[in-house]
Structure 1
Amino acid sequence: FFEGSGVDAGQLEEDLYHLWKAACLKFGLGEPSRKHGVVVQDGSLAASYVSKMGDKPWTLADEMAKSNSKKGRRSNRSFWQLIDCYMDENATTQHRNRAKQLIIEYAEATKGRKVLTWTQGLKKRYAVTDMTDEELAAQQEEEAVFIAEIPLDDWRIVVRHRLEAVILDVCLNGRQAVYAVIDAYRPKTPTD
C-alpha cells in the first residue's frame, strides 16, 4: 500500500523480482520466469485481472478477500469447485470420489495455515484492533439480518446455474425474491 502517487511501478516490479529470484535460487527452486513472475499494477486494474462476478466488476477488495470465488484455470479446479463436484448428485461416482480425495488432501495440506497475514506495521498504521473469533462472531450476529434459508437441494440449483451473485443482489428485495429466482431455475416436472 502506498499513500499518494509517485511510486515507480516498473522499478518496484524490478526490485521485487530480484528479491523473489534470489529467494527461489536460495531454496533450490530454480530461476523464476521474468515474463510470468512478479507483476506490479495499480489496484484499479484488478477488474481486468480476473473475471467478473455476475455483472459486478471484480475489485481490489474482492481480489484480497474472496479467494473462494475464484475459479481454477484450464482443467484445474478451485477448492470450492471440488466441493461443488462432490455435492453434485449428477456427477459420476468416479468424479465425486476424486473430488473427495482432493478435498481431503487440500484440508490436510492447509490445516493450521493462515490464508491472509498482515504486513508488519499495517494494523497500527490503520488503527485496526485485534478481535477474538468469539468477538467477531458476536459482532456478526448483531449486524446480521436473516433473509432466507435455502435448503440444500435449492442451493444445488443456485450453484449449478452460478446464481450466487444474483441471489445476493435480490436479497435486498426480500425472501420472496430469493425464492422466485430459485423457482425460475427449478427443473419443471411433466405436470407443470
Structure 2
Amino acid sequence: MATEPRKTLLQAFVFGALMTFPIMFIQYVVKEEEAILDPFLSNVLFSSVLEEFFKWLIIFILIFRHVEFDDPYDGILYGASVSLGFATMENIFYLLSFGINTAFLRALLPVSSHALFGVVMGYYYGKSKFAKNDKQNEYLLLSLIAPLILHIIYNSILTFEGYWVYLIAPFMLFLWWLALKKVKLAHRHLVQHLFEQNKI
C-alpha cells in the first residue's frame, strides 16, 4: 500500500491552519456586533457549523478532486490533516492570549476532538469519492453532517458548568472508539479497492 505524498498532506495541514483566520474573524465580528444573543446559538450551534463547514469546504474545493486522492483511506488522512491544521493554529492563538495552562488543556480536548471529527469527515469523503453514483451525494452530505453533530454534542457538553468534566470523558472515549472504527472500515475499503484495481 503506497503512503500518501507528504507534500499533499502538508498542504492539507496548511490549508486547515489558514482557514483559522476567516473563522476567528467571523466569530469575532458576530460576538462584537452581538448578532447572535442566545449563548447556545452563539457558542454551540454557530461555532460548530462555522468550523465544520469551513473544514468540509477546504476538502471539497482543494482536495476532493485532487489526483492524489486515489483510494478510500485517503479521505481520513486529508480530513485529519485539515482538522489538525485548524486546531493547531487555533491553539497557538489561545497560547498567545491566555498562556500555557490554557493551551495545554486545549491540546488535550479541542485539538484531539478536531482531529477525530476530521477522521469521521474524511471517512465519508472517501466513501463518497469511490461510491456508486446513487450513493455519492449521500456520503458527501454525511461527510458534513456526521462531524457537525459530534461537534455540536461536544460544544453542548462544555456549556454544563460544574460537571462538564464528568460528561466529556465518556464522550471522548466514544469519539475515539468511533474514529478508530472508521479507520478500520476505511482500511477494509482500501483493500477492496486495491483488489478491484488488481493492485493486490
Q: TM-score, normalised by structure 2?
A: 0.24
- Which structure's relative contact order is higher, taking Cα pairs within 8 Å and 6+ residues apart? 2
Instruction: Specify the structure having the higher radius of gyration (Cα).
Output: 1
Higher helix residue share:
2
Q: TM-score, normalised by structure 1?
A: 0.25
